[in-house]
Structure 1
Amino acid sequence: MNNYLSMLSDTLFGFAALFLLTKVLGKTQISQLTPFDFISALILGELVGNALFDKEAGIPEIAFVIILWGVLLYLTEIITQKWKRTRAFMEGSPDIIIYRGKLIRDTMKKCKLDLNHLQHLLREKDVFSIQDVEYAILETNGKVSVLKKAANQTPTKHDLKVATHDVHLATTLINDGEIIYDNLKEKNLTEEWLIEELHKQDYSSPKEVFYAEYIKDKQLFLLPFTNREHKRFK
């Protein structure tokens, strides 16, 4: 029994420590996974796993491993930010795999990228033919950035000479029946205004609303908890 309690405490500590480490290192360790970050994650997981199942290792040993590896990652991040020349070595560099509509086979071979995989990456960018691509760059995280040929690019409002309007960020005012007062205050809105807007759409209380979204100059968007919308129109 004591053995299980020890494993439980070690696992909980390891989980909390790793979570804290990801917060300290920043989001790039997760969202922009480079080859170096991938190796770091594998090694860190292996070190923590070995510490968890080693009978002679406890919370102090796990803490030492996590702190040591975290310091190394943090120092590496500082080095790559301060000395630009180290970035290509530590994080890799983007490679052009399509240049002016032509495949750069030597680059694809160097990156271990075959044609089928390239087509898969292009389809993720809504490109279904290599003929539509003017430039394609293989990023350090393994994704492809694509610049289509002029004839295949989506026209913008500027190209069509259509009048543009200001863009406003959507704000959640009600979530799961509860008013989010911080968002109301941020948008200089009041609870009285919100209740009035609910009444306009036949809702008597925020508790009837699962989700409410506010965008300036637009009607308040509401989603009910149940199929109340169908009942209202019967």
Structure 2
Amino acid sequence: MKIMYLTIELTVGFFLLFIIVKFVGKKIINQITPFTFIASIVLGELLGNALYDHQIGIFYIIYSMGLWAILLFVVEYLGQKYLWFRGMVEGKPSALINNGRVDYEELKKNRMNINQLQSLLRQSETFSIREVAFCYLEANGSISILKKTKYQKTTQEDFSLSIKPIYVPVTLIRDGKVLWNELKDLGFEESWLRTQLDTQGIFEYHSVFLAEWLEDDGLFVQTY
């Protein structure tokens, strides 16, 4: 009897879930916004908890999932109809890099540090901040990058330019702290680093937000 009842519940839950996802749309699967991410988790929890709670019947499974689906439809409808509601639910992208410069205030506002930004850039096949003209943190936590013209792939492929050696950028100063091990691995001394900073009018390490060395492009420095 229990097997039959569980079979009926699973079948009903399966088709309810299929219908809800079909009508709500792909956003709940792709989890485009924090809201859709939470909504998809709750939807799964509603079905999972109902199936394994023997005190809950099929009616309550249908009711709970149906009510949740209606609420999702309402939110989607209001988001399409009213811009202010869409902005409140979906959020807005944040410009972490603007015109080639890291926006330190935007990083703090999104509770991010330079390490996390560099990690996200590397995951997007961008290994140096100097390559980026604009970088936006999207509502779902991913980043969108627009590279500077000279770093865009089409320039080399379209004009058949000669292939140059590829070097990995090395961060030497981060958040005002010198990464001495990185400096040593490159074979440089502190005197060399000070000279590099002096030529750019920077005389204190703690005033440097980020300093990055690239073999064929020199030292890129951004202060706070």
Where 1:155 maps in the other structure, the secondary structure is: helix
Partner of 2:10: 11
Work out the number of aligned pairs and report it.
160
Q: Aligned partners of 1:152 and 1:93: how far apart in 2? A: 27
Q: Aligned partners of 2:32 and 2:128: how far apart in 1? A: 27
> Letter of the aligned partner of 2:64 in structure 1?
V
- Taking the TM superposition and a 5 Å limit, the aligned residue runs for 1:39-54 are 39-54=38-53
In structure 1, runs of 5+ residues without a counterpart are: 161-234
Q: 1:121-154: per-residue Cα shift (whole Å, max 9, x none)? A: 2123211111111110001121111011121112
Where 1:33 maps in the other structure, the secondary structure is: coil
Partner of 1:59: 58
Shift of 1:156: 6.1
Q: Aligned partners of 2:59 and 2:121: how far apart in 1? A: 48
Q: Aligned partners of 1:22 and 1:113: how far apart in 2? A: 32
Partner of 1:37: 36
Give identity over the alignment, percent: 39
Shift of 1:32: 4.4
Where 2:153 maps in the other structure, the secondary structure is: coil
Partner of 2:73: 74
> Over aligned residue pairs, what C-alpha RMSD do you find?
2.1
Where 1:98 maps in the other structure, the secondary structure is: strand
Q: 1:46-75: per-residue Cα shift (whole Å, max 9, x none)? A: 222221122221221111111110010011
TM-score (norm 2): 0.65
CA gap of 1:102–1:156, structure 2 versus 1, over 3 A, is closer
Partner of 2:89: 90
Q: 1:21-58: per-residue Cα shift (whole Å, max 9, x none)? A: 11111112222431001111122222222211222212
In structure 2, runs of 5+ residues without a counterpart are: 160-224
Q: Residue 29 of structure 2 contacts residue 40 of structure 2 at CA under 8 Å; is this kept in 1?
A: no
1:147 aligns with 2:141: no
Q: Aligned partners of 2:124 and 2:83: how far apart in 1? A: 30
